[in-house]
Structure 1
Amino acid sequence: MRFELFVALRYLFARRKQAFIYIISAMSVLGVAIGVAALVVVLGVYNGFTTDIRDKILGANAHIIVSGPLAALTARPSDAEFDALRNDAPHLSGIDAVLKRIDATPGVVGSTPFLYAEGMLSSPRGVKGVVLRGIDPKTAPSVLSMLDNLTSGSLAGLTPSVEGAPPGVLIGNELAQRLGLTVGSRVNLLSPSGQKTTAGFQPRIRPYRVAGIFQTGMFEYDSSLGFISLAAGRDLLGLPPDQISGIEVTVKDVYKADKVAAELQEELGPLASVRTWMDMNANLFAALKLEKIGMFILLAMVVLIGSFSIVTTLVMLVMEKTHDIAILMSMGATKGMIRRIFMLQGTIIGVVGTLLGYVLGIGLALLLQRYQFIKLPPGVYTLDHLPILLDWVDIVVVGVSAMTLCFLATIYPARQASSLEPAEALRYE
């Protein structure tokens, strides 16, 4: 064992008369431990909430949206204009060909065409504006995970099984409760894109049947989002058979969506608009990231308070051990050795506090993760319990930050100890 480490451990654990310094040392360890534990738990809760929000957003939206020339008919161009557009981008002229090229891109898991529209949904109990998504029932489940977890009904109900029967619509549970709808209820969908008649403007109204009800936990989706088939959407909006608003794409790694999007942009050409889920929700996730930084700085103050206790402990120890320091220096100990003795003492306090904080924080996080004994009001939050997701990168950053603060707290007392003059310290002994 090195000389400096031996003396540092002896000063920390071999005292007999200095109970007050023991208490201050214990408080220093406890302060660091509480700060580390608080950071681990709070960052785990933050990661849990962020992941839950991300999964709910990606459950109702694709990782990548491809639009542009594919949606040109939505603007109702003339046949000549569409032919010119098709000549400028022949590789985008066929929907099936584009889907095949997208699916062949590395990292892509699935793709599906979609139609976007807004309308009014009416029932005997009221009327509500809805955002309608026309989807392909065969390929949409590979892109939109929420379609696999309907609370009632099924996706197959979007397509009528009997000729002449009304098509189906999927709605959120909040919308269903507001209008008193269940699976099988009859509703009417009104499209603002109507037609002019001799009596004036007449909107398109089509009967539908509620084929299923979903629940995402996101109020915006559950209260104002509806899914219909592509064919039903074109009929409601009065669009031609090959009209779509774009193509939704899902990728293998959601955090590499930007790289896949860049490859799709290069593959489909400059006329295509390729946006990722990060682009479409940039403000939300930027705000969440800023909140994480703020929480980290705020809770790091608890560790900083513990490091101040380390300064107090070491300063008092230097004052108490002035005689011992002078003797050690007169026996040949260098100033560097004395400095390292007290720096090691503070570092040991930091290591013990950090490890204890890990035990407390990770232990509490695992208990919350398993037993979920902290419940949340489901009407306020997107889930009914406190989510915990431990990120080992965050845990390492917390430990390194705590150790850094504890080490910095040792510099001043260690310099003061090494600057003592043996003759002055022993003059009055």
Structure 2
Amino acid sequence: MNIASFIARRLVFQKNQSFSRFIIRLSTAATAISVAVMILAFAFVEGFQYTVSSKVFSFWGHLRVQQQLSSTSGLAEELPVEKNDTVYRTIKANPNVALVDAFATKSAMLKTNETIEGVLLKGIEKDFSQERLLPFLIEGKWIAFDDSLQNNQVLISQYTSRQINAKVGDKVLIYFIDNNSTVPRVRPVTVSGIYKTGIEEYDKTFAIVDMNLIRRLNGWTATQIGGYEVTLKDYKKDYSTNNQLLDQLPVVWFSTPLREIYPNIFDWLALQSTNKQVILIIMCIVAVINLISCLIILVLERARMIGLLKATGATNGQVQVIFWNQGLIITLTGILLGVVLGLGICFLQQATGFIKLDESAYYVATAPIKVIWWQVLLIIAVTFFVSFIILFVPSLLVRKMSPVKALRFE
């Protein structure tokens, strides 16, 4: 029988009421809370970054390819360019490219009998990958494309719908300025559906229409577009893919990552990563201080036991192992409880969404969760490793205790 482990278990799991029992439970609870908080922080941050970035990319793709440099605001109209098979094939040939869709934009005003609202019309073609935007459709239906040039349907945001008091099926007038005239021109359109992304920059700005409507408004030919939006298989490779395309595209074509067009959103997401690292450091410090304090108290409270063990022939190393095992049991129990608590809250949030957020501030109405298992294992490993190192510090007090003084310790 391992005497040190036996004594350590008796000290940790003693049933009688004592101060040391309270300290052990408090230390175990503090370790569990630290681990749970780290797991929740990582899961929430990963959920935020994945969900918000997916929304941003779903609406505009990851890269824009045009014959002009994109505006940093993302609100400028494009110059017309002819569809280019060479450019299209070059983009599609890149192994990280999943989708390539043509687009064009046009500034306009939407007017009903009650009010008027400025929008940027985004024109798409019938082969547009609509599964990217369908999750945001909350009322009505997707634009019905046909081969004619008379498709006058528009998909507006919930924000715009409320501003102009327009519902699905209502007629709306589009006012725009012709390049050859200062007098606004008017076109009637029908609201086919209403979308909501939760991203203020999108919902307050864009309305989606058939590309042919943009062509008619701008006087373009049937083969002219504003550019291509590119969706990647891995969004983390957007800059590397962008650099590859810049080297391969014709000299008059440019590629721009969406992260440079909407930097405010991605700067905010990057800040969450910093918060995650800060929380990890703080929780590790809390766990360390907690474990050191606990073991020091336990060593001092068991001073007479230490003196008795030394007086009966126990070596410093044997007595140290008792408190090392005691700390190890506390750490492992705390880690286990913390993992159960942290993952339990994560799965509960995924199932019920009980944690609500202000969508106007956070881009999502419910706190998103994304559990990455290697991060959970990293938290467990870091907590255990740090605790393992710290376990040696308080146990060094044992070496400085003489049996005589320890037996007289009150």
TM-score interval, smaller chain: 0.7 to 0.9
Output one character per residue of 1:153-196: Cα deviation in whole Å (capped at 9) or x when no partner: 444435586x7x56222211221222122333332323345314
Q: In the TM superposition, what is the alpha-carbon distance from 1:276 to its structure 2 partner? A: 2.9
Aligned length: 404
2:144 to 157, 162, 172: 157
Q: Match for residue 89 of structure 1?
A: none
CA distance in 2, matches of 1:219, 1:122: 21
Q: Quick check: 1:46 aligned with 2:45?
A: yes
Q: In the TM superposition, what is the alpha-carbon distance from 1:362 to its structure 2 partner? A: 1.2
Q: Quick check: 1:420 aligned with 2:405?
A: no
* Secondary structure of 1:393's aligned partner: helix
Aligned residues of 2:48 and 2:269 also touching (Cα < 8 A): no
Q: In the TM superposition, what is the alpha-carbon distance from 1:326 to its structure 2 partner? A: 4.9
The aligned runs of 1:244-393 (5 Å cut-off) are: 244-269=225-250, 271-294=252-275, 297-298=278-279, 301=282, 304-326=285-307, 335-375=316-356, 382-393=363-374
Q: Quick check: 1:114 aligned with 2:103?
A: yes
Output one character per residue of 1:254-313: Cα deviation in whole Å (capped at 9) or x when no partner: 333334334333332554322334444444233333234335535764664454343233
Q: Quick check: 1:98 aligned with 2:87?
A: yes
* Secondary structure of 1:32's aligned partner: helix
CA distance in 1, matches of 2:68, 2:283: 55
Structure 2 CA distance for partners of 1:258 and 1:6, relative to 1, 3 Å: farther
CA distance in 2, matches of 1:70, 1:412: 60
CA distance in 2, matches of 1:152, 1:15: 61
Q: Match for residue 116 of structure 2?
A: 127
Q: Match for residue 9 of structure 1?
A: 9
Structure 2 CA distance for partners of 1:245 and 1:316, relative to 1, 3 Å: same
Aligned residues of 1:159 and 1:168 also touching (Cα < 8 A): no
- 5+ unaligned residues in a row in structure 1: which ranges? 77-81, 83-92
Aligned residues of 2:63 and 2:242 also touching (Cα < 8 A): yes
Read off the aligned partner of 1:150 and give its amino acid letter: L
CA distance in 2, matches of 1:105, 1:19: 68
Aligned residues of 2:151 and 2:210 also touching (Cα < 8 A): no
Structure 2 CA distance for partners of 1:315 and 1:375, relative to 1, 3 Å: closer
Q: Match for residue 74 of structure 2?
A: none
Q: Match for residue 90 of structure 1?
A: none
Output one character per residue of 1:64-98: Cα deviation in whole Å (capped at 9) or x when no partner: 21123699x9558xxxxx9xxxxxxxxxx752332
Q: Quick check: 1:191 aligned with 2:176?
A: yes
CA distance in 2, matches of 1:11, 1:184: 74
- 5+ unaligned residues in a row in structure 2: which ranges? 71-76
CA distance in 1, matches of 2:269, 2:343: 22
Read off the aligned partner of 2:144 and give its amino acid letter: G
CA distance in 2, matches of 1:276, 1:157: 30
TM-score (ref. length: structure 2): 0.83
Q: Match for residue 79 of structure 1?
A: none
Read off the aligned partner of 2:168 and give its amino acid letter: V
CA distance in 1, matches of 2:231, 2:276: 32
Q: Alpha carbon RMSD of aligned pairs, Å? A: 3.6
CA distance in 2, matches of 1:166, 1:261: 34
2:192 to 184, 208, 211: 211
CA distance in 1, matches of 2:30, 2:94: 52
Q: Quick check: 1:238 aligned with 2:222?
A: no
Aligned residues of 1:158 and 1:170 also touching (Cα < 8 A): no
